Amino acid sequence: MGKGKGPKVEKEAALSVILIKGGLEMNAAQLRRLSGAVTRLALLPCVAEAAAAAVAAHYILPNFSWEWGLMLGFVLSAVSPAVLVPNLLRLKHMGYGEKNGVNTLVIAASSLDDIVSISAFGVLSGIVFSTGDLTSKIVQGPEDVCIGTALGLVWGFLLIFVPPAPWANVSYTTRKGPLQNNDQNREKQTEKSVTTKRAFLLGSGGFLAVTGSQWYGYPGAGPLACIISSFIAGTGWKWREEKQNCNRPTIVLSHDDVEGGANNKVNPVEAVFECIWFGLQPILFASIGTEVKFELLKGGDIVIAGLLVLVCGLIMRLIVTSCAVWGAGLNIKEVIFINIAWLPKATVQASITFIAALAPVALDMARMMGTDEDLESASRLLTISVISILVTAPLGAFGIQWFGPKLLSHSDR
């Protein structure tokens, strides 16, 4: 996609925070079990929806070429983590979707889905406008995945050991009974200090990855690095804590420790990012609203045609999504829920970190290098992408919250 103007800092900060929250709350055991389903869910529905939307656009919209149809298809196929992730995490906190790993499956697949959309759009725009080396655009997707994975792994593993864990900073005495008040205060202060450092390093690293990947022309690498680094770090912190408790058998645990266990404790770093997200989410969703251009919807014909294209693509996505998660140990209700969660779209700068403003980019390129037909096609593409947001974002958000408790199993059941 190349270099360009940097997006607003507030928007990138909000997206970085929600990605980190998603990575911290992913379940390692469930992700390992569902790794094949994650790959299928990320690739197959995206490509199928783009192809179906391209066919529909080519035959419904006048003088709409196959190239422009595929460009429109991959713009529409990008899901919206800004809508999807916080709603799934809200369900998780209520105890829904954890039994079979539905939350982990959808959150992990969402970032890869957007990388596919970005990469395919870049290749097609290069074909239409003949800009840059087509070979480099084709390898853009694998490059994004490799760079994002490498950055995420390195930064995540580093954060497991830096800063040192609380028990590494305090000289613990053998605990055969309750801690004295001074020892308790000292332990709490150390834990707060380490939590603050971990949250700062994880947050700043994720923000730099997201912004840096945009500036250096790898828009899909940063978000992927953000999710992977937080997942690796959070899993590593839990693993080190469990290992340390096993190595200190003389510790007498309190009743609360026995009841809760390390696995059921809320990671204090997650709590920090929960507070940050509470403050930043109005900024993110306000920015989404400012990017929706209602003046593009004045023509009734384009609205009807756009809805038909959108519906054709969504029908194909629903069919392929159901097939992609088949055999992953999910029941029919969970498959239906995943289809609902997979609805919200991320076009027209609603999530600039993920889709790099795909629809406006097409319009700008058509103005600079395209023909009159290209300009008309780009305008239609932008209009239909606006329609997709107005239709799918509220439906997806409402559907996740309304149908989640009805379709997903509760962890206590």
pLDDT digits (tens, 9 = 90+) for 41-51: 988 999 999 99
Higher-pLDDT residue of 380 and 319 is 319
How distant, in Å, are the alpha carbons of 26, 263, 317 from that of 20?
10, 19, 27
State which residues form the domain around 274: 6-171+178-251+263-407
In this prediction, residue 242 carries a pLDDT of 76
- Cβ 228 vs Cβ 148: under 8 Å: yes
Quick: pLDDT tens for 176-209: 445 455 656 776 777 888 888 899 999 999 889 8
Q: What mean pLDDT do residues 52-78 have?
A: 88
Quick: pLDDT tens for 66-115: 888 898 898 888 887 777 888 888 888 888 888 888 888 888 888 778 77
- Cβ 318 vs Cβ 83: under 8 Å: no
Residue 352 CA to residue 354 CA, distance in Å, equals 5
For tokens 């390992």, the residue is 32
In this prediction, residue 385 carries a pLDDT of 79
Is 224 within a domain?
A: yes
Is 257 within a domain?
A: no
- Cβ 311 vs Cβ 39: under 8 Å: no
In this prediction, residue 151 carries a pLDDT of 92
CA proximity to 239, closest of 19, 30, 29: 29
CA proximity to 73, closest of 43, 49, 109, 44: 49
In this prediction, residue 56 carries a pLDDT of 94
Phi, then psi, of 96 in degrees rounded to 5: -105, 140
Number of domains in the chain: 1
Residue 360: cis peptide before it, omega within 30 degrees of 0:
no
Phi, then psi, of 264 in degrees rounded to 5: -95, -5
- Residue 369 belongs to domain with CATH number: 1.20.1530.20
Residue 254 CA to residue 378 CA, distance in Å, equals 64
Is 413 within a domain?
A: no
CA proximity to 22, closest of 115, 146, 130, 109: 109
Enumerate residues 6+ apart whose C-beta is below 8 A from 6: 211, 214, 215
pLDDT band at 254 (very low <50, low <70, confident <90, very high): very low
pLDDT band at 342 (very low <50, low <70, confident <90, very high): confident
Residue 298 CA to residue 303 CA, distance in Å, equals 8
Higher-pLDDT residue of 251 and 212 is 212
In terms of residues, how long is the chain? Answer: 413
Residue 374 CA to residue 233 CA, distance in Å, equals 46
Amino acid at 206: G
* Percent of the chain residues past pLDDT 70, beyond the cut: 69
Instruction: Give the pTM.
Output: 0.66
Where do the H-state alpha helices sit in 162-250? 166-169, 181-215, 221-246
Quick: pLDDT tens for 214-231: 787 776 678 778 888 988
The three-point CA angle 72-124-358 to 5° equals 50
Enumerate residues 6+ apart whose C-beta is below 8 A from 137: 119, 122, 123, 125, 126
In this prediction, residue 112 carries a pLDDT of 78
- Cβ 91 vs Cβ 401: under 8 Å: yes
Q: Answer whether residue 12 shows pLDDT above 60.
A: yes
